[in-house]
Amino acid sequence: MDNVLEVKGLSRSFPGFQLKDISFTLPKGYIMGLIGPNGSGKTTTIKLILNMLKRDGGEVKILGLDNIAEEKAAKAELAVVFDSNYFCEAWTAAQTEAAVSGFYENWDTNRFHQLLERFRIDPAKKVKDLSRGMQMKLMLACAFSYGAKLLILDEPTSGLDPVSRDELLTILSGYIEDGEHSVLFSTHITGDLERAADYITYINRGSLFFTGGKDEFVDSFRIVKGGPEDLTEEIKARLIGLRTHPTGFEALVRTEDLERMRRTGGKAAENRSVRGNRDSETVRFPAYTGALGKSSPVDSWTVEPATIDEIVVFTSKTPDDNGE
């Protein structure tokens, strides 16, 4: 079994919202970021994977096990950490283990206490007296103590300070190191995904926008900037999430559309690809001239690599957001 998680055609309707035909796969040994604006369907997707909600359609398999027909066996292979503490606050870390361990046949007490020591958690300290970051580590200590192959995180870095976030990402990198464990990581902090994720699944307004490699996702888009005189109707039709201001505009454009717009201006003076190192300096188009010897408006644009955050922001905009 090469995939630890397979989601096919997942759907669920609510009054005023519909999650439609969500499909993606997460291979063993990798981290997948699950992204999208608030209300896009990320948490609904996670709850459907966990069978906490009844689905209208689709299929979920965890290490080849159906999450409904083989729910008990499937859940024995996964661990979940939500964005807030779900343990009784009056418990100590030791009491937490006593309460949780009985649910898992493969619970490893030695492993749990090794993790408490590694995370510098006092077994006698009550949950309510732990910081937000330490509570997160306690949840992870439990998650890692029974051999779960899939870790699902729902906004785990929300509210954590930069040091705690960095430590969490280091822990996740160690978790997948053996190639047998995987992480599905829902977050709004896209900088964490820039560092840690191998794959991206992007859900927007209940629909699947993208699923695939992180580098492929980022390389599929560019940020373009130009003057107000450049915005012809044909060009505007190819721009995503246009943002205008008195001196010009800024927008997201698909890399493939950018190439088409470059060719529209006429014959290229030189043949140079827009794709390249996303960490490179800002680049400009080579000069293009049309049949009448006039430069294309695209020639003067500034083109920059797009971050995950910029892609999400611009693709989530509507015409009203653009002031049009």
- Give the pLDDT score at 222: 94
Most confident residue range from 211-215, 232-236, 270-274, 317-321: 211-215
Q: What is the DSSP string of 59-86?
A: EEEETTEETTTTHHHHHTTEEEE-SS--
Distance of CA 149 to the CA centre of its chain: 19
Q: What is the pTM of this model?
A: 0.82
Two structure tokens written together for 226: 């130009």
pLDDT given for residue 21 in this prediction: 96
Identify whether the C-beta of residue 295 lies closer than 8 Å to the C-beta of residue 261: no
Delimit the CATH 3.40.50.300 region(s) of the chain. Answer: 3-218
Work out the percent of the chain whose per-residue pLDDT is above 90: 52
Under 8 Å between Cβ of 206 and 41: yes
- CATH class assigned to 3-218: alpha beta
Is the pLDDT score of 293 beyond 50? no
pLDDT of residue 195: 86
